Every structure is written in C-alpha cells, then in structure tokens.
C-alpha cells in the first residue's frame, strides 16, 4: 500500500475528490481487469487529495484525471528542530529503491518552522545525498511545516495540464487544460454521459480551441505523453508494457453529438480545423453570426476575452453572443466583477411553470492569478 497526494489548484479539492471516485471503476488490477479494490482511503486536503492505494491503482490516476496537476508519492515524515538533526534524518533515506542510480533535484518549502531557511535546507540535503543535483533526472519534494518534514517523490514530471497533444496550435491567452476541464465539468453538473451524446457543444469564442479539445477527451484516458514514474525503479513493471493500454475497454466513442467553434479571425478558424483532425467528434468551424443549423440540444462554453492582453467584450454584447445558439446551458469563466455583470444583464424571462427561465450558479477560481468565477446559466423547462 502506498500514500499518494494528488495535487490540484486551491479550491478544486472537492471537485478532484469527486472525479477520482468517478474514475475508480476504470482502474485495472493485477489481472489487467477492472478491480473492486479501488482506493483504501481518499481525503480532500488543502491543495489536493490524499489517496491510500495499491501502487498499481494510484499510478493509473495519471491516465484519467483531468483536474489533477501532479501526483506525489509520500515517502517519509520526521521532525527536526536543528540542521544537524535534519541531515541525520536525510542520510537515513536511500533514494535508490525508488529511482535507482539516477540523479535528482529537490524542491524545498518551509513555513512555520524553526528551520525556515529554504536555501540552507537544500544545502543540508546536498550533504546528505550525493545524487542531488540542480537539474536531476527525477525530482523530490521536501516540505516543512510546524517543524514536521515530509519527503515526497514526484511521479508526474511535466505538469499534467500538458496533455501531450493539441497545445501547440497557438492562440492568444489560452486557458490551461486543467481549468478547462473544471469549467466543462461545472457545465455538465449531474447530467449523465448518455445525455451528452445528444448535445452539440459550442464555443462561440474558441480561440486556440482548448475548451473544445478538452471536451472531446474529458472522459478518455491520456496515453499521449510520458510520466516521470515510467522511468522509476519501484513501479509495477506491468505499467511499462507497450500493450498495457489495450486492456482498457469502453473508450473511444464520441462524448458529444458534435462540436462547434467560432472565431472572428480566419487564422484562428484554420487552427480549429487542424485541431479537428485529432478529435473523436466532428468539429464544425464558423465565423461569428454564421452559426450552422442543427437539431440537437445545444450547450455553450467559453473563455471570453479579458485581462491585460485582450480587449474585453461589453456584457450586453457577451449576452447576445452566448445566447445566439439558443442554448439550454451556458458556462463561462470571467473575472468576478464581469461575471456578476453578465448575470445582471442576463434575460429575466419566466419559464412556463411561472418560475425564472434561467438559474444561475457560480464557483470561485483563479486563472493565471486573476480571481475569477465559473458562471453557469441553466434553462428551466
């Protein structure tokens, strides 16, 4: 049994815990079959979710989680009030069982601890471990809080928002894939997967196409990139088999009835057409005001322009753009003031039952350091 810490942006801990429960049934056991063993423990904590699981189970989270930033393997906890004691404790820890003879780097953080000088902590670790280099092949994390030290091994390598494909299409101020996944999950809410297969998803300000690409692969495993654990000594060797991915069943079918993306710039629409080649759904591109016809229910998702690099769209124009496809649901990410202004300008019609036609919900997030809201409008029938 191993203890993992699945890292996510602050504020998404409960969302990540829910996602981890959803993917638990897809994880394979030692016989390459879905296992009922699953996680032994799952606990949301600040900055992520602590997971107790068999290594084979925990490592597969990399393939399925779209909200996680990285996975850490918890290795050792100890208390140290003096640097001499810290060095003594570190010398007791041999990295070889996990990474063999590879060099490694070390990320240090310290707060509310007597040993608060992170640079000196690093120098102490250098004396304890000869394999420690500034640019090592693997990476450990050493965290001190209230004089308690915790050593972890990075299992991920490059941040998990790097999906391995679709990020090199360009575009101005694209949304990070993990945040795009959070916005899409917020839009979907409690809707079952079977419902999505009858819905056309539209991004009327698609830009780089990140939201549409993420929507297509939201429920698909990701084998398109390398992970740090794949070159570590301790992992179950079955995960290194080139045919291991063939053991997963039930993937590859389109998630949505179709995808549509618009952008006012021809070069952006050309990028969207390039993106379409790697998706399971059909992706139609169109210029603003030239929305193709269709019979399926439509949902809208968007990351409208805002911030220093882009000229924001006035709220009244944004309402018009978002409602042009006649959607049943709309979800956007905007700075809090703009999101609340959008809500104030949203139509106040009544539904046939006499209640409000649209219900509004929100969730606070950070996007590139900017306080934002995920804002959702759902039509009440």
- Give Cα 43 to chain centroid, integer Å: 18
Is the confidence at residue 112, as pLDDT, over 80?
A: yes
Which residue from 181, 171, 215, 161 is spatially nearest to 333, judged by alpha carbons?
181
pLDDT-based confidence at 244, cuts 50/70/90?
A: confident
Strand, helix or coil for residue 105: strand
10 Å CB burial of residue 23 (0-12, 13-18, 19+) is: middle
Alpha-carbon distance 205 to 301, whole Å? 9
Mean pLDDT, range 8-15, rounded to an integer: 94
pLDDT of residue 308: 56
pLDDT in tens, 302-361: 999 886 545 678 899 999 999 999 999 999 999 999 999 999 999 999 988 888 999 999
Answer for the pair 298, 326: CB distance below 8 angstroms, yes or no.
yes
Q: Measured in Å, how far apart are the chain's first and last C-alpha atoms? A: 49
Report all structural domains of the chain as residue ranges with CATH numbers, in order of start.
Answer: 2-154 (3.30.2130.30), 177-220+254-379 (3.40.50.150)
Alpha-carbon distance 18 to 20, whole Å? 5
pLDDT in tens, 256-299: 999 999 988 888 888 898 888 888 899 999 998 888 888 899 99
pLDDT in tens, 194-216: 999 999 999 999 998 999 999 99
Q: How many CB atoms lie within 10 A of CB 146?
A: 9
pLDDT-based confidence at 172, cuts 50/70/90?
A: low
pLDDT of residue 36: 80
Q: pLDDT averaged over the chain?
A: 92
| Across 6-20, 26-40, 214-228, least confident range | 26-40
Can you list the alpha helix ranges (DSSP code H) found in 129-237?
177-188, 193-196, 210-216
pLDDT above 90: percentage of residues in the chain: 75
Residue 48, beta-bridge partner list: 7, 45
pLDDT above 70: percentage of residues in the chain: 96
Mean pLDDT, range 224-236, rounded to an integer: 95
Residues counted in the chain: 381
Is the confidence at residue 368, as pLDDT, over 90?
A: no
pLDDT in tens, 21-59: 999 988 998 877 778 889 999 999 999 999 999 999 999
> CA torsion 204→205→207→208, rounded to 10°?
-60
pLDDT-based confidence at 67, cuts 50/70/90?
A: very high
What are 302's two structure tokens?
């968007």
Is the confidence at residue 250, as pLDDT, over 80?
A: no
pLDDT of residue 351: 84
Q: Give phi and psi for 104, each to the nearest 5.
A: -150, 155
Q: How many CB atoms lie within 10 A of CB 265?
A: 12
Residue 6, beta-bridge partner list: 49, 71
pLDDT in tens, 150-167: 999 999 999 999 998 654
């Amino acid at each position: 049994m191993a203890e993992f810490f699945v890292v996510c942006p602050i504020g998404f801990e409960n969302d990540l815990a829910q996602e981890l429960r959803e993917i638990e049934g897809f994880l394979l056991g030692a016989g390459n079959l879905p296992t009922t063993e699953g996680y032994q423990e799952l606990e949301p904590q600040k900055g992520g979710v602590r997971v107790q699981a068999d290594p084979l189970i925990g490592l597969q989270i990399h393939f399925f989680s779209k909200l996680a930033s990285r996975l850490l393997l918890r290795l050792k906890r100890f208390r140290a009030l003096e640097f001499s004691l810290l060095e003594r404790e570190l010398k007791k820890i041999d990295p070889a069982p996990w990474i063999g003879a590879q060099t490694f780097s070390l990320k240090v953080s310290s707060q509310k601890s007597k040993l608060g000088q992170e640079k000196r902590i690093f120098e102490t670790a250098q004396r304890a471990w000869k394999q420690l280099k500034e640019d090592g092949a693997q990476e450990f994390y050493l965290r001190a809080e209230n004089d308690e030290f915790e050593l972890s091994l990075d299992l991920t390598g490059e941040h998990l928002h790097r999906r391995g494909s679709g990020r090199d299409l360009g575009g101005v101020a694209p949304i990070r894939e993990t945040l795009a996944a959070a916005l899409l999950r917020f839009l979907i809410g409690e809707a079952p997967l079977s419902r999505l297969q009858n819905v056309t998803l539209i991004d009327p300000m698609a830009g780089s196409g990140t939201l549409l690409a993420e929507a297509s692969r939201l429920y698909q495993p990701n084998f398109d990139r390398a992970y740090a654990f794949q070159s570590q000594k301790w992992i179950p060797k079955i995960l290194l088999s080139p045919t291991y991915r063939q053991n997963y069943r039930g993937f590859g079918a389109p998630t949505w009835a179709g995808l549509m993306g618009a952008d006012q710039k021809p070069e952006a629409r050309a990028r969207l057409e390039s993106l379409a080649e790697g998706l399971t759904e059909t992706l139609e591109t169109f210029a603003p005001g030239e929305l193709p016809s269709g019979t399926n229910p439509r949902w809208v998702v968007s990351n409208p322009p805002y911030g220093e690099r882009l000229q924001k769209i006035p709220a009244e124009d944004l309402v018009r753009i978002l409602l042009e496809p006649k959607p049943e649901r709309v979800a956007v990410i905007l700075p809090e003031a703009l999101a609340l202004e959008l809500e104030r300008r949203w139509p106040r019609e009544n539904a046939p039952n006499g209640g409000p036609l649209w219900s509004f919900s929100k969730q606070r997030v950070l996007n590139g350091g900017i306080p934002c809201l995920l804002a959702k409008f759902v039509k009440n029938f």
